[in-house]
Amino acid sequence: MIKTGSWFVKIPDDHIKIGVSRYAPRGMARGYKLYRGLAPGAWFNAVSPQEYLIRYNQILAGLDPAKVVDEIEEIAEGKVAVLCCYESVQKISAGETWCHRHIIANWLADTLGLVVEEHGASEDFDPWGHLRAQGLEPPRYD
């Protein structure tokens, strides 16, 4: 099983944080892993959301989703993988921001049929409010 979540959310002992951000937060407690193949480029905070989607989709286009899942499961060593980045559920829910981890979730859902839930979010959690407010739709990979 794979979930998404913020670096700053508490997870159960049978879960493991796997970073898909460029770096883990300074001072992060040990026990996390990194999966650099899903990290955005150095451009991540210097481009518009529309340009971000274009560039990040180029990254995903170069990856095999089944291989990515296999590698994540290997890294997770039998635990539930929580793909982590910085943005909080609260700020995303309020429409203040969005996060590429939800692009990853859509990619895995559309290409492999995986349901990738946001750890710690309510059932009605919508990660796309911020993008929709800018006239952008969530990416699809059908």
3-state secondary structure of 71: helix
Q: What is the SS3 assignment for 78-139?
A: CCEEEEEECCCHHHHHCCCCCCHHHHHHHHHHHHHCCCCEECCCCCCCCCCHHHHHCCCCCC
Dihedral of CA atoms 110, 43, 92, 39 in degrees, nearest 10, equals: 50
Is residue 85 one of the residues assigned to a domain? Answer: yes
Range of the domain at 20: 2-133
Tally of structural domains, the chain: 1
Is residue 96 one of the residues assigned to a domain? Answer: yes
Is residue 142 one of the residues assigned to a domain? Answer: no
12 DSSP assignment:
-
Note the pLDDT of residue 142: 81
Task: Please give the model's pTM, rounded to 2 decimal places.
Answer: 0.95
Residues of the chain with pLDDT under 70: none
User: What is the CB neighbour count within 10 angstroms for residue 53?
Assistant: 19
The tokens of 67 are what? 């291989």
